[in-house]
Chains A and B, each alone.
Chain A
Amino acid sequence: MNADLEKLQESNKTELERRGSIFNIGAPATEAVTIRDQIAVGFGDGTVRFFQSGSDPKTVKAHKGVVLSMTNYEDHVLTGGDDGRFLKISSNGNIDEIFNFGSKWVDCVASHKDTKVCSSGKTVYIWTKNKDKPQTLEHQSTVAGLAFDNKGKRLAVSRYGGVTVWKLNNNKWTASNFTWKGSHGTVTFSPDTKYIVTAMQENQIHGWRINDKADLAMRGYPSKIKSFTWVGDTPYLVTSGSSDAVCWPFDGKEGPMGRKPIVVANGGKELATFVKALNGEKAVFTGFTDGSVLLAEIDESKKPIMIRSSTGSEVSTIAISSDNSQILIGDMKGSILLSSLWADN
């Protein structure tokens, strides 16, 4: 690279890059979750690092291999690794091993209040408060996604051929199956819990209206959808997988049925790889294959703002601190940008 180009790129830095801090961890950032004023990030070297504005990250050696899955749990994070361990980790570095599955991976984790959940293979394990032994839920194929509804009464488990929604009644889980041919990955409930949506192995997402199991097939993507996020009061389900952030409206009785999505944050020839809602706003952060990140309102007439410039490595995670003051962006090369979202912060 010649010096002029370097200078040009320096001046091309975004406002957030100039005022933020950049950390090069050297291992892919796999997951990020927010715990109060800290953001915990899992990496491909097995570490979990707690980032906080104004200080160096605290590093916890958690797993032997890759941090495959992570969620928040009270003031802790729960992590699943390819070393077969399901861990509860506090930001001061305390590690509590909840279970060790040996040579089987812990692919997915979830939590609701004091309930801790993970999956390994075809089985979901549920630990409730004050119980040492987990309840287990069996499935016909490997579990690829877990999501609680907002009340913690229902647990969606995605797998090959659809989703099993487990409902908790009198301490017993009963299953209801939502079927659609193909392999289903990440799963989410809509905020009003009327819909469930999965990202599929094919380049599409699939949804069901829960009360009548009506199917919603959302197709037309040029690549696999790796990330989605609920935005605004409508709400919109915003997804990666295209050159734009694709925003499906879930208002009204029919949701996105028969309607076109809104597309914002055009990345040109780059594809969106990660999307994250800006809490309380009708706006979304979209990360792309080249590492750049745009902030866009869900409004095709508005221009997006460049948040992070290209790093050459795809954006693999974005998290926002719970008070909406800080943003953390991580990529597959392990470069982390931590910056305040607002100039006067």
Chain B
Amino acid sequence: MENTSQVPVTVLTGFLGAGKTTLLNRILTEQHGRKYAVIVNEFGEQGIDNDLVVDADEEVFEMNNGCICCTVRGDLIRILSGLMKRADKLDAIIVETTGLADPAPVAQTFFVDQDVADRTKLDAIVTVADAVHLSSQLVDHHEAEEQIAFADVILLNKVELVGDNDIVKVNDRIRKINPFAKIIKTTRCDAPLDEIVGLNAFSLDRVLDIEPDFLESDHDHEHDDDVTSLSFVSDTPLDMDKFQDWFGNLLRTKGQDILRSKGILNFKGEEERYVFQGVHMLMDASPMGPWPKGKDRSSRVVFIGRDLDNMNLKEGFDNCKSA
């Protein structure tokens, strides 16, 4: 549910050496006139423009709720609830994760913990990527793939060190993993802060921004544990019961390999659009008002994950079409 008093939280990920610290330094030293709290791991700097720096250890806890991939950031629950007791209001909270971190536990914390969800909201996952080294990091480290897969915004940094052809290549490589993230090419992370903080990317109504032309499902990949994306479009209305059965079962059984999912759904007999977005097994879904007049009522779903080819996704989705 949307609640204007919720403080937006931006999660900052990025592989070692990509330029995360440069970006944090910018956030802490620029005169932005807002009050941010920055949750960091062992960071030497102090805030200048009235910002608050909080030291944290990344503590990933399994939830005791029978959901095997449901891990959360225990330290984040504690720190966010502490920050919410402050007398002064924060404009935003920025959470830095270590270079090798999987972004899922951070994102899942906002789905699982009611206190966190009541008072804060996940704004966006921003990933800083090193234009020079990203391609080799994607081969060697699954964490780098996950950070690209989860991102809402990717700062493709150090572009000044890479030729135009290589930028196109690395851009294509990112697109194959994550078709929606906004890619901003930067030198020393010099993107305007308002393209990084305050994006509302996890708001369900942002799912509506998924353009049909994003959804070109061509994918050829090298090996099975690569993170890729798949998407499907249907102009035939879907059967709600069939979809819920299929999708619920899919997340339950394959949720570990599905990193993110999003969709806009046109159910037979329903006037409203349904949207959802998920992180692994956890999902947020809601009706989102009537379809715009004069536009196609097409259902669109997107999956980002590993081993998507072996989930019979196309068949499963097609079976949900109403007869």
B59 on interface, CB distance cutoff 8 Å: yes
What would 4 more interface pairs be, CB under 8 Å, given A82-B82, A105-B55?
Answer: A66-B83, A82-B54, A141-B59, A181-B64
Task: Return the chain A residue nearest B46 by Cβ.
Answer: A103
A312 on interface, CB distance cutoff 8 Å: no
B165 on interface, CB distance cutoff 8 Å: no
A28 on interface, CB distance cutoff 8 Å: yes
Q: Is the CB of B77 within 8 A of A28?
A: no
**What are the residues of chain A within 8 A of B78 when measuring CB–CB?**
107, 142, 144
Q: Is the CB of A182 within 8 A of B86?
A: no
Known: A68-B82, A142-B78, A201-B61. A105 touches B114 (CB 8 A): no
B148 on interface, CB distance cutoff 8 Å: no
Residue in A68, A160, A182, A223 whose CB lies within 8 Å of B114: A223
Query: 6 A-B pairs, CB-CB below 8 angstroms?
Result: A82-B54, A82-B83, A160-B59, A182-B62, A200-B64, A223-B114
Within 8 A of B (CB), among A188-243: 200-202, 223-224
Q: Is the CB of A103 within 8 A of B63?
A: no
Within 8 A of A (CB), among B86-128: 86-88, 113-115
Within 8 A of A (CB), among B271-314: none
Residue in B61, B85, B86, B88 whose CB lies within 8 Å of A160: B61
B172 on interface, CB distance cutoff 8 Å: no
Which B residues are closer than 8 A to A by beta carbons?
A: 52-55, 57, 59, 61-65, 72, 74-75, 77-79, 82-83, 85-88, 113-115
Q: Is the CB of B61 within 8 A of A183?
A: yes
Residue in A44, A141, A144, A201 whose CB lies within 8 Å of B85: A44
Known: A44-B86, A65-B86. A201 touches B57 (CB 8 A): no
**What are the residues of chain A within 8 A of B52 when measuring CB–CB?**
65
**What are the residues of chain B within 8 A of A45 when measuring CB–CB?**
86-88
Q: What separation, in Å, do the CA atoms of A66 and B88 have in the docked complex? A: 10
Task: Return the chain B residue nearest A65 by Cβ.
Answer: B86
**What are the residues of chain B within 8 A of A160 when measuring CB–CB?**
59, 61, 74
Say how far A100's CB is from chain B's closest CB, in angstroms. 14
Task: Return the chain B residue nearest A64 by Cβ.
Answer: B52
Within 8 A of B (CB), among A23-40: 26-28, 30
Q: Is the CB of A105 within 8 A of B74?
A: no
Q: Is the CB of B59 within 8 A of A142?
A: yes
Q: Is the CB of B82 within 8 A of A66?
A: yes
A43 on interface, CB distance cutoff 8 Å: yes
Mask, A103-139, CB within 8 Å of B = 1, is 1110100000000000001100000000000000000
**What are the residues of chain A within 8 A of B87 when measuring CB–CB?**
26-28, 43-46, 334
Q: What separation, in Å, do the CA atoms of A172 and B72 have in the docked complex? A: 35
Q: Is the CB of B53 within 8 A of A103?
A: yes
Q: Is the CB of A181 within 8 A of B62?
A: yes
Q: Is the CB of A105 within 8 A of B64?
A: no
Known: A103-B55, A104-B55, A224-B114. A182 touches B64 (CB 8 A): yes
Q: Chain A: how many interface residues by the 8 Å CB criterion? A: 32
Number of A-B contacts (CB under 8 A): 75
The 7 closest A-B pairs by CB, nearest first: A182-B64, A27-B87, A45-B87, A44-B85, A103-B55, A44-B87, A66-B85
**What are the residues of chain A within 8 A of B62 when measuring CB–CB?**
181-182
Q: What separation, in Å, do the CA atoms of A200 and B61 have in the docked complex? A: 12
Q: Is the CB of B59 within 8 A of A28?
A: no
Residue among B55, B63, B65, B88 facing the most chain A CB atoms (10 A cut-off): B55
**What are the residues of chain B within 8 A of A68 when measuring CB–CB?**
82, 85
**What are the residues of chain A within 8 A of B77 when measuring CB–CB?**
183, 201
Task: Return the chain A residue nearest B42 by Cβ.
Answer: A103
Q: What separation, in Å, do the CA atoms of A160 and B105 have in the docked complex? A: 15
Known: A103-B53, A160-B61, A224-B114. A142 touches B85 (CB 8 A): no
Q: Is the CB of B54 within 8 A of A201?
A: no
Residue in A103, A122, A224, A334 whose CB lies within 8 Å of B54: A103
Q: Is the CB of A142 within 8 A of B57?
A: yes
Residue in B63, B64, B72, B75 whose CB lies within 8 Å of A142: B75
Q: Is the CB of B63 within 8 A of A105?
A: no
Q: What separation, in Å, do the CA atoms of A152 and B82 have in the docked complex? A: 28
Say how far B48's CB is from chain A's closest CB, in angstroms. 15
Q: Is the CB of A201 within 8 A of B82?
A: no
**What are the residues of chain A within 8 A of B65 when measuring CB–CB?**
202
Say how far A67's CB is from chain B's closest CB, in angstroms. 8
Q: Is the CB of A183 within 8 A of B55?
A: no
Task: Return the chain B residue nearest A203 by Cβ.
Answer: B114
Known: A141-B74, A160-B74, A201-B74. A30 touches B85 (CB 8 A): yes
**What are the residues of chain A within 8 A of B115 when measuring CB–CB?**
224
Q: What separation, in Å, do the CA atoms of A44 and B84 have in the docked complex? A: 9
**What are the residues of chain A within 8 A of B79 when measuring CB–CB?**
105
Known: A43-B87, A45-B87. A183 touches B57 (CB 8 A): no
Say how far B114's CB is from chain A's closest CB, in angstroms. 6
Residue among B53, B57, B82, B113 facing the most chain A CB atoms (10 A cut-off): B82
**What are the residues of chain A within 8 A of B82 when measuring CB–CB?**
66, 68, 82, 105, 107
Q: Is the CB of A121 within 8 A of B57?
A: yes
**What are the residues of chain A within 8 A of B75 when measuring CB–CB?**
142
Task: Return the chain B residue nearest A222 by Cβ.
Answer: B114
Q: What separation, in Å, do the CA atoms of A202 and B113 have in the docked complex? A: 8
Task: Return the chain B residue nearest A334 by Cβ.
Answer: B87
Say how far A329's CB is from chain B's closest CB, in angstroms. 17
Q: Is the CB of B63 within 8 A of A202?
A: yes
Q: What separation, in Å, do the CA atoms of A82 and B80 have in the docked complex? A: 12
**What are the residues of chain A within 8 A of B54 when measuring CB–CB?**
82, 103, 105
**What are the residues of chain A within 8 A of B64 when measuring CB–CB?**
181-183, 200-202
Mask, A43-71, CB within 8 Å of B = 1, is 11110000000000000000001101000
**What are the residues of chain B within 8 A of A334 when measuring CB–CB?**
87
Within 8 A of B (CB), among A1-45: 26-28, 30, 43-45
Q: What separation, in Å, do the CA atoms of A82 and B87 have in the docked complex? A: 13
Task: Return the chain A residue nearest B62 by Cβ.
Answer: A181
Task: Return the chain A residue nearest B55 by Cβ.
Answer: A103
